[in-house]
Amino acid sequence: MRQVTVVEHLLLSQKERPMASGRFTRLLNELILSAKIIDREVSKAGLLNVLGGTGEINVQGEAVQKLDDFANRVIIRRMERAGVLCAMVSEENADFIEIPHTFPSGDYILIFDPLDGSANIDANVSIGTIFGIYRRTSFDSSSVTVSDILQKGAMQVAAGYIIYGSSTMLVYTAGDGVHGFTLDPSVGEFLLSHPDIKIPPQGKIYSVNEGYAMYWDEPTKKIVEYFKSSANALRRPYSLRYIGSLVSDFHRNLIYGGIFMYPADSRDPHKPVGKLRLLCEASPMAMIVEQAGGMAIDGRRRILDIEPQELHQRVPLFIGSKHDVEFVQQTFAQYYS
């Protein structure tokens, strides 16, 4: 396959489409550079741990920040200067981040989880950066408000993730299919490796933390039992695969087929709908999976139709192969119709 970079692919596939505007390309380039910087630090993390005390001082003589703080700062610093954003939302920051008036700004809004699954880094498990890109809705010159940001996932103009694993990959969609690019360290570029990814309509894998089974509601228990039985479409139990890192679990199911579930549970009264966040986790993954031919719901509603009420709103998530997610939707409909 001829070596095609992300920007070359965008320009080839978008032609006159608005996404090939210089501003979107600039946004993507800055995000890609951030990913390369994060990838460099993530790949060294284990070494720092092995070196013990030197884990406190990095090569530039700065105090080593926790990796997710580091990733967050890299993305914020690069993106606020890119001249294409009016605001950002990070999973790590309570409030939205407005672009300082001293920097050039634009109409895009970047919503991201800088390093999802970072609790797994010490076990050398793959982790990832998740992002969604919107356009601001108000066009008067006044400052950005929360209402500019609280847009349903269907309003995303692009979404994607970078997975820092055995190889580092960027998987994203700008509304014209899902495409995967693998970082070639020898040239320092993400090169097209998985054009037009489609998720199999029927999976053989289910991903859920069964340790919480006693906290699930009845339909959730019925759904998980279905995938573990011979009553399902395969006529035999699905394989359980659960890494505990959303980007890793999602990516595997995107390629092989399957369903990832983070249901509502009664463990934590403060998180009755589970721990995943609508804006910076569920909505970007939902855009990707739909563009790949899959489905994403909260049990009843399409994730991309949910109007957010607050920045860090949590949501149950059932996402993956269409036929598997349809079974979930039918089961909840029977219980709650």
Q: Minimum distance between the CB of residue 117 and ligand P6P, rounded to whole angstroms?
A: 4
**Angle (nearest 5°) at CA 21 between 17 and 26:** 140
Q: Which residue has the tokens 């933390």?
A: 209
Pick 119 or 146: Cβ nearer ligand P6P: 119
Put residue 246 in one of left, alpha, beta given phi > 0 → left and psi -120 to 50 → alpha. alpha
Pick 84 or 170: Cβ nearer ligand P6P: 170
* 280: number of Cβ within 10 Å: 24
Q: Minimum distance between the CB of residue 137 and ligand P6P, rounded to whole angstroms?
A: 28
DSSP string, 248-300: HHHHHHHHH--EEEE---SS-TT-TT-S-BIIIIIHHHHHHHHHTT-EEESSS
Q: Minimum distance between the CB of residue 5 and ligand P6P, rounded to whole angstroms?
A: 28
Pick 193 or 321: Cβ nearer ligand P6P: 321
Residues that bind ligand P6P (CB under 6 A): 116-117, 119, 209, 244-246, 249, 275
CA torsion through residues 83, 84, 90, 96, sign: positive
Per residue, what are the HEC states of 36-56? HHHHHHHHHHHHHHHCHHHHH
Q: Minimum distance between the CB of residue 128 and ligand P6P, rounded to whole angstroms?
A: 8
Compute the distance between CA of residue 298 and CA of residue 288 in angstroms, rounded to an integer.
16
Pick 56 or 210: Cβ nearer ligand P6P: 210
Q: Minimum distance between the CB of residue 273 and ligand P6P, rounded to whole angstroms?
A: 13
Q: Minimum distance between the CB of residue 280 and ligand P6P, rounded to whole angstroms?
A: 10
DSSP string, 303-325: GGG---SSTT-B--EEEE-HHHH
CA nearest to 33, candidates 194, 119, 162, 197: 162
Compute the distance between CA of residue 282 and CA of residue 298 in angstroms, rounded to an integer.
9
DSSP-based three-state secondary structure for 108: strand
Q: Minimum distance between the CB of residue 81 and ligand P6P, rounded to whole angstroms?
A: 28
Pick 23 or 275: Cβ nearer ligand P6P: 275
Q: Label residues 141-151 b or e (16+ Cβ within 10 Å = b).
A: eeebeeebbbb
* 209: number of Cβ within 10 Å: 14
Pick 158 or 319: Cβ nearer ligand P6P: 319
Pick 120 or 145: Cβ nearer ligand P6P: 120
Q: Minimum distance between the CB of residue 244 and ligand P6P, rounded to whole angstroms?
A: 5
The letter for the amino acid at 54 is T
Pick 105 or 129: Cβ nearer ligand P6P: 129
